[in-house]
Structure formats: structure tokens, C-alpha cells
Chain A
């Protein structure tokens, strides 16, 4: 089973 990851997991604020 695959889970949807989020953009914020890869890119951080800044």
C-alpha cells in the first residue's frame, strides 16, 4: 500500500 506524501515533506519554508 502506498501513501500520498505531501509537498511540505520535501520543500521547507523559506
Chain B
């Protein structure tokens, strides 16, 4: 028996919007720790890891570990039927091949339940080792989204370089080139507007912009984003979900042949 009640149901709607472009089908794993997902895109270039900790739910009952295969486009269709202020409850019985999403309006005058068929998905779970990154950049998520969008109108790839001067995003295409430098800026009114660079050593990596643009679908989940870079590892782009967990995207770099 599984029953997860999330008062801030809009979070779940935003989570689906953040991952459905990258991944078509995925297993949602439910355990005592929380509600999680790990999935790669179809070309195995990017990976998304989601965690919503059990403590973040108003009610969290998960009698035993359960993995539920879902088509994310279909989940998104269901959740789009929930109002933005609705309380969302996810329910499933042991051994059932369906999951139910229940939507309650804030004043309890409307209750809807949507039952969705589950599917069998073969997916390999990858071990992601803890790593010390050469550089971690924290910046406003809207600013990062703007940079990725702007650069993708010029080129297909971005070189992200971190030095003590700041973080530089560079691209080149048929019509020309573009460089955007963001300097560390801690002297802002609100902490979420700051750009903070923690650098152990300079690092420069090249990535496909279309994946980064896809990651920025998570922008509504968090005011800030952190970008962790090391020369021999995929970049980690993390959006924290307040009090609950995170959506982390991993993107394999483009490397010299």
C-alpha cells in the first residue's frame, strides 16, 4: 500500500514539466526515504535524478519498496488536470497495475481521482559516486535559463569555463560567436540573486546546448541553480526543491576524439 499526500501539489506538476521533455518512460521508486526517480534520455547522454523526501509529504505511507513504471507524458496529462492550489495524493495498492492521482481543492469542495495504467520498464540504475568538483557555480536559475536560450540561437554547443575571474559561457556558429561572463556577485539584496563561484582549480568543458536547455524546464522549481564541474566528469545541474529534495541533471561532456 502506497499513499503519499502532498499539500503543495503544484510541486509535483512542476517536477513533471521539468523531466518529461528529457525522458519518455521511467520508474518512480518509492521507499521509506522518499519518492525518487533516476532515468537517462534515449541517447544516454543525460541523466535525471529526482528525490522528494518522505518528510516533505504531509502524509507518507509506503509499506514496502515499490517501483512504478510510468509514461511521463501521460503523468503530465493527468497532473495538468489538477488545479495549481490542489492537494495531490498518489495511491497504489501492492501488486496493482495502476496508480491513482487524487486532487483535492484547497477548501475540499472538489475531489477528483484519476487512475493511470502502469507499465513495465526495463531500466538500469546507475551508481553515481560522490565526487569533489573542481568548480561549483551557484546563480539565479532564470539567469542560467536565459544564457542557455540566448546561446542556442547562435550555436549548438557551449564551452563553460570557470576561472577566478568568473564563469564564461561561449558558443560559436555559422553567424558568429558569443561569450557571456558572469562574475561572482555576492553583494545583492537577496541571496537568491547572487552568483557564487567556489573554485578549487580552473576548469573548462564543452556541452550540447539542447540538453542544457531541456534542464532549464526545472527553473520554476527553484530560484537558484548550481552547476558542478570537473574535467573528467559529467556536469551536474541541480535545482533544489525547497524542504523536499532536488532535481539533478547529469550531462556527459563533448570530448576530444
CA distance A7 to B124 in the complex (A): 12
Binds A, one of B44-52, B165-173, B195-203: B44-52
Judge whether B46 and A7 touch: CB under 8 Å.
yes
Contact (Cβ within 8 A) B257 A3:
yes
Is B127's beta carbon under 8 Å from chain A?
Answer: yes
Of all chain B residues, the one with the shortest Cβ separation from A11 is B126
Which residues from A are CB-within-8-Å of B45? Answer: 4-7
Given contacts A10-B233, A10-B234, A11-B47, contact A5 B126 (CB under 8 A): no
CB pair B157 A2 closer than 8 Å: yes
Chain B proximity of A4: nearest CB distance (Å): 5
**Interface pair A12/B250, CB less than 8 Å apart:** no
Q: Are A6 and B44 in contact (CB under 8 A)?
A: yes
Q: Interface size class for chain B? A: 20 to 34
Q: Pick from B47, B125, B129, B208: contact of A7, CB below 8 A.
A: B47
A2's nearest neighbour on chain B, judged by CB, is: B254
Q: Are A11 and B206 in contact (CB under 8 A)?
A: no
Given contacts A2-B157, A4-B45, A4-B208, whether A10 and B257 have CB atoms under 8 Å apart is: no
Chain A nearest CB, measured from B49 CB (Å): 11
Determine the distance from Cα of A2 to Cα of B254 in the docked complex, in whole angstroms.
6
Closest chain A residue to B41, Cβ basis? A7
Closest to B254 in A: A2
Q: 7 nearest interchain CB pairs?
A: A14-B127, A2-B254, A11-B126, A5-B252, A6-B44, A13-B124, A7-B47
Q: List 23 A-B contacts (CB under 8 A).
A: A2-B254, A2-B255, A3-B257, A4-B208, A4-B252, A5-B253, A5-B254, A6-B43, A6-B45, A7-B44, A7-B234, A7-B252, A8-B126, A9-B252, A10-B232, A10-B233, A11-B127, A11-B128, A11-B234, A13-B124, A13-B126, A14-B125, A14-B126
Listed in ascending order, the chain A residues whose CB lies under 8 Å from chain B are: 1-14
What residues make up the interface of B, taking CB atoms closer than 8 Å to A? 40, 43-47, 124-129, 157, 206, 208, 232-234, 250, 252-257
- Extra A-B contacts (14), CB below 8 Å, given A5-B253, A5-B255, A7-B46: A1-B257, A2-B257, A3-B255, A3-B256, A5-B45, A5-B254, A7-B47, A7-B234, A7-B250, A7-B252, A8-B40, A8-B126, A10-B234, A13-B126
